[in-house]
Amino acid sequence: MDNTEIEKKPYGNLTVWNKQFTLTFAANVLLCFSQHTVNTLISTYASYLGAGAVTIGMVSGLYFGVSAAARPFSGPIISKLDQRKIMIWIYALGVLTGLVYAFSGDIAMFITARVMHGIEFAFVGSLNLTLASNSLPREKLGTGIGIFGLGAAVATAIGPSMGIAIFRWAQELWGSDTGYMVVFLVSAGFMLLGLIPVFLLDPCKPGKKALEQMGAWYKNIISVKTLIPAGLMLLVSASSILFSTYMVPYADSKGIENIGLFFTVYAVVLLVSRPLCGKLIDKIGVGRLYCPGAIVYLLSFLIVALGNSLPAMLVAAVFAAVGFGTLNPAIITLCMRSVPHAKRGVASNTQYFGIDIGFFLGPVMGGFVNAYLGYSSMYIIGAVPVALSGVLFMATWRSLKNRLY
């Protein structure tokens, strides 16, 4: 154990399910529900407000572009200040963001909400991951990260279908304006509930020696040692965001009904694959799992691009869940083991730089490809970053494994 206050407490010595991990897990589950309840409706809401195909892609990606721009500030703040206090402010911002979404009457107000949401994301993902990983023993890091991701998996299983169902219910009763408003109010409610476990967290302020190791603020923006894992995450994220951003309008264009089942099947399979892959990472290592995971994930995009029915989309969901359930914990474990304990905050922030850029580029490029070539071509081209991540991993794995902590 080293020098942050959290590390002086016996959280992760023997068990994954210690107090700090459990509370962070609960807060993250509610965060993920807040996000996934509305994510699949972002593009349709922008369209409802009058945005065209290219504008929809840009508005969808703006959230992540703002997040990337804010990370030079969020990284040092997360590393040097009390993470519990930061979490309280950021979850409160999440509540306010949901309210701005809910009462957006035009595209300008919607863009304002996207900017606020991007600032929130610049902090909250890194905070949750840092708090969770710092509470875990090294020998159970992969297992813990796999379990931690179950919150996102459950939210992915229920959130999109819940959001669509709530929207359609409210739309039938009161019209589309109220339908969107109700869904975003539900999203704000999840963030409000998330404040409960956040308030119960122990203080998480770095100790004096840890602060000395971190150095000046500018040294806590980017971790050079985690640039390759961040690059892998960028490529995977650029592809993965295409499912949540465009799957609903893509299914509508093909006349495929009940597409919410795609997200349900995806998440149910992810519930099994992600913790299993986390345990395999601890047992056999990242090196043996990454490329098989990339191949399976790549196939999911091709099935979506060529499929014309709900059963085909559900098969793709299985492949996507197994592939992503392998790649995501593998990259996170690689990132966290590339730095000493005191630097995990900046390592997490660096990884989220990759997520931000990937999530920004994915919808924007997808919007352009869709506008000129259609959805099917977009998903075929969307598989390319996954393939490139496999190439990057094979080219750098030998040097990476020699400097893991």
Tokens of 288: 């043996």
The Cα-based distances of 219 to 77, 214, 254, 265, 278 in angstroms read 12, 7, 50, 42, 30
Judge whether 334 lies within some domain: yes
Judge whether 6 lies within some domain: no
Judge whether 5 lies within some domain: no
- Please provide the DSSP assignment of 184-204 as one string: HHHHHHHHHHHHHHHHHSPP-
Domain residues for 224? 13-401
Judge whether 3 lies within some domain: no
Q: Look at the chain and report how many structural domains it folds into.
A: 1
CATH number of the domain where residue 355 is located: 1.20.1250.20
pTM of the predicted protein model: 0.78
| Distance (Å, whole) CA 323 – CA 289 | 10
Judge whether 291 lies within some domain: yes
Judge whether 376 lies within some domain: yes
Judge whether 1 lies within some domain: no
- Please provide the DSSP assignment of 76-123 as one string: HHHHHS-HHHHHHHHHHHHHHHHHHHHT--SHHHHHHHHHHHHHHHHH
- Please provide the DSSP assignment of 330-371 as one string: HHHHHHHTTS-GGGHHHHHHHHHHHHHHHHHHHHHHHHHHHH
Judge whether 303 lies within some domain: yes
Helix 176-200 vs helix 19-39: crossing angle, to nearest 10: 170
Tokens of 35: 């996000």
pLDDT for 9 equals 44
Per-residue pLDDT of the chain (405 residues; tens, 9 = 90+): 344 444 444 444 457 888 999 999 999 999 999 998 998 788 889 888 888 877 887 887 788 788 888 888 888 888 778 889 999 999 999 999 999 999 988 888 999 999 999 999 889 988 898 888 888 887 788 888 888 888 777 887 788 878 989 999 999 999 988 999 999 999 999 999 999 999 999 987 776 666 666 666 666 778 888 999 999 999 999 999 899 888 988 998 999 988 888 988 887 898 888 888 888 888 888 889 999 999 999 999 999 999 989 999 999 999 999 999 999 989 998 998 888 877 787 888 888 889 878 988 898 889 889 888 999 999 999 999 999 999 999 999 988 888 776
User: Which residues, 6 or more positions from 17, have their beta carbon under 8 angstroms from its beta carbon?
Assistant: none
The one-letter code for the residue type at 73 is F
Tokens of 310: 């709900």
pLDDT for 14 equals 59
The one-letter code for the residue type at 269 is V
